[in-house]
Chains A and B, each alone.
Chain A
């Protein structure tokens, strides 16, 4: 088995389990904002450890403008994760996780609008499917 496939399967498994354990934490009584803080703190420790271990990727003279952008990105990610856990607290994981996995449609739309990136035919079709899926799942 190729090693990239092992890592990719790890990604599928870990993120798939992440959605499931999030739901378990809320069903066991933790509120979604506390879950967001605890989960984000552990995620931060894991990410910083991975970054420190991977010494060849350590930043040298990283510019403040880039660091500030990354921090702003993190703030948005924190708000998104809080909303994700809020949705899990109120709705079934089987619907919330697939629906929230459609967030790349927003990134692609913004990249198209502001960075003037080109969309492939598949991506255009996928955005249409995303809207259709969102409509079907949200009107239940």
Chain B
């Protein structure tokens, strides 16, 4: 029996995978990283609002939960800025696999502060995901210029 959270996680992997593909299509046409991040964030917030209104789920919980939600959005945005800042200054072949290690931070905090327990098999699964995440970001087969070396945009035709 597959747990409910797994189905949500698989949906997440699918949607984010499609997002990455559409992002690739957009940037292949000349749009810069930061412009794509800014414009797509508009579509993201609009979609989140529409889905929330359609489902009619409004459970804000405690004041702390609202603070954590605001912090969550801010951290996601700062993560994007830091990631693109690193790409602008360093080589993608090094930066991308390094940043792919971010789940390790969540893992450490969840186990130490939330006291989440993992079975040995789950530990093996997490180790596999971390290795796979770093390997997925392999850029060695391609040219890996700095973002600042990339063309900013293609002229409108």
Contact = CB atoms under 8 A, between A and B. Distances in A.
- The residue in A23, A25, A32 that gathers the most chain B C-beta atoms within 10 A of its C-beta is A25
A39 B73 contact: yes
Given A18-B79, A82-B48, A74 B118 contact: no
B51 A78 contact: yes
B68 A48 contact: no
B66 A78 contact: no
21 contacts: A11-B99, A17-B105, A19-B105, A22-B68, A28-B64, A28-B65, A31-B61, A36-B51, A41-B45, A43-B76, A44-B42, A44-B44, A50-B34, A69-B29, A73-B26, A80-B13, A86-B8, A98-B106, A106-B20, A123-B138, A129-B135
Given A11-B86, A30-B59, A83 B20 contact: no
Contacts of A106: 13-14, 16-18, 20-21
Contacts of A7: 82-83, 85-86, 89-90
Contacts of A132: 128
Interface in A94-114: 94-111, 114
A110 B24 CA distance: 10
What is the size category of the interface that chain A forms with chain B? Answer: 35 or more
Interface in A36-70: 36-48, 50-51, 54, 56-63, 65-67, 69-70
Interface of A: 2-5, 7-8, 10-48, 50-51, 54, 56-63, 65-67, 69-84, 86-111, 114-115, 118, 120, 122-123, 125-127, 129-130, 132-134, 136-140
Contacts of A60: 153
Given A33-B57, A87-B8, 7 more contacts: A14-B78, A23-B114, A70-B39, A82-B51, A90-B3, A100-B12, A105-B13
Nearest to B90: A4
A104 B29 contact: no
A128 to B, nearest CB: 8
Interface in B10-51: 10-26, 29-49, 51
Contact of B43 (A8, A71, A140): A71
